[in-house]
Structure 1
Amino acid sequence: MGGLATSCHLSLKMKTLQGDELCFPQLLNNSCRKPMPPQSDAMLAYTLLSFISLLTAALNLLIIISISHFRQLHSPTNFLILSLAVSDFLVGLLLMPVEILLTEACWFLGDLMCALYYILDFIITSSSVGNIVLISIDRYLAICDPLHYTTRVTVDRTKICVCLCWICSVLYNSLILKDFLRQPDSQNSCYGECVVVLNHITGAVDLVFTFIGPITVIIVLYMRVFVVAVSQAQAMRSHIAAVTLKGSVGVTAKKSEMKAARTLGVVVVVFLICFCPYYSPSLAGEDIEDSSSSSPFVVWLLYFNSCLNPVIYAFFYPWFRKSIKLIVTLKILQPDSCDTKIL
């Protein structure tokens, strides 16, 4: 699960016009040209992107503090949400700001930092996708097999799954980028840029493991949840002559199933909207290096998923709104605040 920020999206599109300043004046023949100063409309775009970066980091940080601090929130599902919030927080804290800076500056940090940035980029973004899959599996088990959920899904097993998700992300992306990590400057056309390009084979593998595989799992689980909700509704109608209490329980169960189905539906739609534009050229069989996936808009749409995740997974929960009030008012600094009733 890696390669989400690939294919030259960090490539500095250097101007070659006469009179442009060089990134490295001492290297007249090999230096890249400095990007042109941003215009007023570009400055507005940078301001908006900076706000999105700050909002992404802030929202996910609130989730991290809430779940980590309040003991009542230490459940398997919330630990998965916590892991997702950590990866999305790093997207807003590290990846988005660097992406903003690279659109109007040369790369002065050297080949080592270029390689480090890319490996972090791939690991963080791919772990975010892995966490979404884990959350979908968790909710599938909770809805479709509620009687065995508490015995199958425990806090310790959830922690193991989260650790495996991050470990697999590190190993997978290290394998994907092994050639790039050996020679980070092999794909640079001049000094002052940071570029990584995946070949056709690597790009196809990444497409399967990062996009097709996860979205298939999520859609299949969502369809299964929907089928369970419909079957419960039919069962309720078939027992229409049952006692009122029994009928009311059926109505409550039906509402719970449909609410979970709608939540997973939002996840699927948002995931597709944010990821399809990036992988559409690969799905069409185009060369990943020359595809539109290097477009800044496509990259930022991909990153924007990290800003939407806390809205989908946290703002739907009343406990999050309550915990925000306690955090903002600094009541979490009071003794025994971790035992506050949130649910």
Structure 2
Amino acid sequence: MKTVDEAELCFPQLLNTSCRKTMLSPSVSLVIHLTLSSISLLTVFSNLLVIISIYHFKRLHSPTNILLLSLAVSDCLVGFLISFQIVLIDGCWYLGDIMCALYVVLDYAITAASIGTMVLISVDRYVAICYPLHYSSKVTTERVKMCVSLCWMIAFLCHSLLLKDSLQKPGRYNSCFGECVVVLDYVGGIVDLLISFIGPVAAILILYVRVFVVAVSQARAMQTHLAAVSLQGSVKITAKKSEIKAAVILGVVVVVFLICTCPYFCVILMAEDAAVNASSVTFLLFYFNSTLNPLIYALFYPWFRKSVKLILTLQILKSDSSDTIVM
């Protein structure tokens, strides 16, 4: 029979080197398990709906939606990463040092890819609102696909290099068995903050301030001339309104993203060292953003609601369903 001390250890057989568990009551542990499991399933399922919608329906293959597809892929992967947080509920990491290193690298890379995609979304809206006559020639589907691919490759390459010590020698920073800790050196931490937070957030804020200044001026101009426009002018105004509406919706996505992301990076900025414990609660707030994005799409995008209805009723299995008009 186990002693009290053994019951509190992650690995009782390693009495002197094992980490201690975070002791939770059965009811609290059950609630946390159910909550995280629900969030994980909801995140994966809802983002899969976004991915299937944009990938399947040809009418949705626009540059802006390609960016939303990239964001949905990162959000879906985050849903899978939440399952690792479920493993860590009792404060113990049971999957080994190699999996710990891979998990943290994936977390960093997916975070960077998400933020990079947010920057691309901001650039897309900036060009659409500030240079509408040049948008179709400057922002093409092929160019956006190339930018998204580069964003993901750079995110994985940079963080593989920044965390190469942990990848080469997994578990080197653990103080006991059952811990999952990765450490960035001082220079690596500064570089990560610059490329994953400070630089992208500054770019997003600058671009969106410019977008909304121009959008407000365009909205006022439309109201002023609304009564004296021809049919052709009405079409142009409707197009402008559509672009402004898209900018507002994606602005909501960006604001929610920043609200959920900033606390994590603020904790890193204020930390005494660059150690990252995989059980950090600040990860959870960032993860929760991935659950919110599809809900924002469902609230604001009629095409997403229509696509979901077609997917859930299995209408997409029809041979000509990809040509369905959902916009």
Fold match, TM over 0.5? Answer: yes
Query: Residue 96 of structure 2 is aligned with which of 110, 124, 127?
Result: 110
Describe the SS at the equivalent of 2:183: coil
Higher RCO (C-alpha under 8 Å, 6+ residues apart)? 1
Q: Please name the residue that 2:28 is paired with.
A: 41
- Hey, what's the Cα distance between the residues in 1 that align with 2:91 and 2:230? 69
Q: Please name the residue that 1:201 is paired with.
A: 187
Alpha-carbon shift at residue 196 of structure 1 (Å)? 0.9
Letter of the aligned partner of 1:192 in structure 2? Answer: G
Q: Please name the residue that 1:9 is paired with.
A: none
Describe the SS at the equivalent of 1:196: strand
Query: Residue 147 of structure 2 is aligned with which of 147, 161, 183?
Result: 161
- Hey, what's the Cα distance between the residues in 2 that align with 1:342 and 1:144? 27
**CA pair 312-141 structure 1, distance change in 2 beyond 3 A:** farther
Is 1:66 the equivalent of 2:53? Answer: yes
- On the 8 A contact 1:23/1:34 being kept in 2, the answer is yes
- Hey, what's the Cα distance between the residues in 1 that align with 2:234 and 2:202? 35
**CA pair 46-181 structure 1, distance change in 2 beyond 3 A:** same
Alpha-carbon shift at residue 23 of structure 1 (Å)? 3.2
Alpha-carbon shift at residue 31 of structure 1 (Å)? 2.0
Alpha-carbon shift at residue 323 of structure 1 (Å)? 0.7
Letter of the aligned partner of 1:130 in structure 2? Answer: G
Decide which moves more: 307-316 or 141-150.
307-316
- Hey, what's the Cα distance between the residues in 1 that align with 2:286 and 2:235? 41
- On the 8 A contact 2:100/2:180 being kept in 1, the answer is yes
Alpha-carbon shift at residue 97 of structure 1 (Å)? 0.8
Between Structure 1 and Structure 2, which shows a larger proportion of helix residues? 2
Describe the SS at the equivalent of 2:260: helix
Q: Please name the residue that 2:177 is paired with.
A: 191
Q: Please name the residue that 1:336 is paired with.
A: 320
Aligned residues: 324
Query: Residue 75 of structure 2 is aligned with which of 88, 94, 98?
Result: 88
- Hey, what's the Cα distance between the residues in 1 that align with 2:45 and 2:75? 10
Alpha-carbon shift at residue 70 of structure 1 (Å)? 1.1
Structure 1 residues not aligned, in runs of 5+: 1-16
- Hey, what's the Cα distance between the residues in 2 that align with 1:187 and 1:92? 27
Q: Please name the residue that 1:227 is paired with.
A: 213
Letter of the aligned partner of 2:78 in structure 1? Answer: V
Letter of the aligned partner of 1:79 in structure 2? Answer: I
- Hey, what's the Cα distance between the residues in 2 that align with 1:169 and 1:243? 48
**CA pair 187-154 structure 1, distance change in 2 beyond 3 A:** same
Instruction: Provide Cα deviations, 1:205-234, integer angstroms capped at 9, x if missing partner.
Output: 222211111111111111111121232245
**CA pair 58-106 structure 1, distance change in 2 beyond 3 A:** same
Describe the SS at the equivalent of 2:157: helix
Describe the SS at the equivalent of 1:205: helix
- On the 8 A contact 2:74/2:114 being kept in 1, the answer is yes
**CA pair 257-339 structure 1, distance change in 2 beyond 3 A:** closer
Moved over 6 A (4+): none
Query: Residue 320 of structure 1 is aligned with which of 294, 304, 321?
Result: 304
Alpha-carbon shift at residue 258 of structure 1 (Å)? 4.5
